[in-house]
Structures are given as C-alpha cells and as structure tokens.
C-alpha cells in the first residue's frame, strides 16, 4: 500500500502511550519519599509528567526541602522503578494492533521518552516490545529534556526522516510541546489512567490508539 510522503515515520512517547505506567512511577516515588514523611499528590505527579529524572528530583528537592544526598534518593528510586516497570505486561488499547499495521506499511517507528535508557529497556522488555521499534531514544542521549525538541529530533535523525515527515504520539502537555517544537504532526492519546483533557496544542486527539487514522499515512 503506498504511503503519503508527507508522513513517513511514527514516533511514540512511552509512558501513558504504550502502557499505563505513570502509576508505577508514582508508586516508586512514594516508596522512596514516604519514609521521609513526604506524601505525593496527583497534582505533584501531573506537574512532573513528561519530565526528565533530573528535573523530577530537582522539583521534589525544592518542593519538599529535602535534606541529605539527593543522589542516594535517586539511586533508590532507580532501583525500585526498574523492578516495577519490568513487571508491567499490558499495553494500552490499540498499541499491539497499530505497530504491525505501521510495519505493514513499511514505516519506520521509534520511541522517544524522557525516561533513561534503563527504564525504557525495563518497560519494553516487560511489554515484550523490546524488538518492536527501529530505535528508542532517551532524553539522556538527546540532550535537553522535554519540552525541548531534542529527543524527537534525534529520533527523526535515527530514522532518517525529516521531522516534518514524522507523526508524534504523546499524552502530556510537556511531550506535545516537545514534538511541536520539533515540527512534527502531533497526536494526543487519552487511554491511560493519567490522561489529560484534550489539549489545544495537539493536532489530533484520540481516545485510544484503536482510533489511529491510517488515512494519515495512505496515499
């Protein structure tokens, strides 16, 4: 089936797009911060969604006036999170259907995530998707974290597709801002438990990836 040359690659965010994994991050954060008397609320979690590990823990340190070694807390969080992410096995609706359809069209696909490579590997391994993508890019490899466009620009370079020829699938305002800054067509998907209301900076809003319009890619 011929492909519309305007869009010739699809790049997925990971958390909240491939899996309902934001609650797992919340659980790992609470396991580290709870013993310090810190209680994270949904408002805190939404503030950091889509942020890098460095930005996340700077926010916690400033918000809760954390004392002592921040590196030690981050190490504890990293250990707990890797364990929990590897236990997630269910994708969000439409993910397992969409990936082979994109492959059938001959499209390159990638993951572009604010997570570090070890977390990406843990979650994709748990989901059984470790070999599903042509590349998986983390903010740590790309440079600046979302909302800067770096992670999406690096993913496009690795796929050898101009950014304007890429569709980016996101779920957070921060992620959409990153993909918009990269000059990509942006889709917000809303099937995760952490879903935001429809966001104005998305070119298209879907209830789930079961509704992904392949007509965007077909000539």
Strands 109-113 and 166-170: unpaired
Tokens of 206: 């879907």
Do the Cβ atoms of 123 and 111 come closer than 8 Å?
Answer: no
Tokens of 39: 């209680």
Catalytic residue among 13, 15, 150, 171: 13
Q: Is 71 a catalytic residue?
A: no
Instruction: State the chain's maximal CA–CA distance in angstroms.
Output: 59
Q: What is the three-state SS of 112-179?
A: EECCCHHHHHHHHHHHCCCCCCCEEEEHHHHCCCCCCCHHHHHHHHHHCCCHHHEEEEECCHHHHHHH
Closest residue by Cα to residue 14 from 110, 103, 89 = 110
For residue 149, how many C-alpha atoms fall within 13 Å in the half-sphere facing its CB?
14
Cα distance between residue 219 and residue 217, in whole Å: 7
Active site residues: 13
């Amino acid at each position: 089936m011929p492909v519309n040359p305007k869009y010739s690659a699809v790049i997925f965010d990971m958390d909240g797009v491939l899996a309902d994994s934001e609650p797992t991050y919340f659980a790992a954060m609470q396991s580290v911060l709870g013993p310090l008397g810190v209680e994270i609320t949904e408002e805190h979690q939404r503030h950091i969604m889509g942020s890098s590990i460095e930005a996340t823990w700077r926010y916690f340190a400033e918000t809760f006036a954390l004392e002592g070694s921040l590196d030690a807390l981050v190490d504890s969080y990293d250990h707990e999170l890797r364990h929990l992410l590897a236990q997630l096995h269910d994708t969000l609706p439409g993910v397992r259907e969409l990936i082979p359809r994109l492959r059938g069209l001959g499209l390159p696909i990638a993951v572009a995530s604010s997570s570090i490579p070890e977390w990406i590997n843990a979650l994709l391994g748990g989901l059984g998707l470790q070999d599903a993508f042509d590349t998986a890019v983390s903010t740590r490899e790309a440079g600046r974290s979302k909302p800067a466009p770096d992670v999406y620009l690096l993913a496009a370079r690795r796929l050898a597709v101009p950014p304007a020829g890429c569709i980016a699938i996101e779920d957070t305002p921060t992620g959409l801002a990153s993909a918009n800054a990269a000059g990509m067509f942006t889709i917000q998907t809303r099937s995760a438990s952490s879903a935001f209301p429809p966001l104005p900076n998305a070119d298209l809003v879907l209830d789930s990836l079961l509704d992904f319009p392949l007509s965007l890619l077909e000539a």
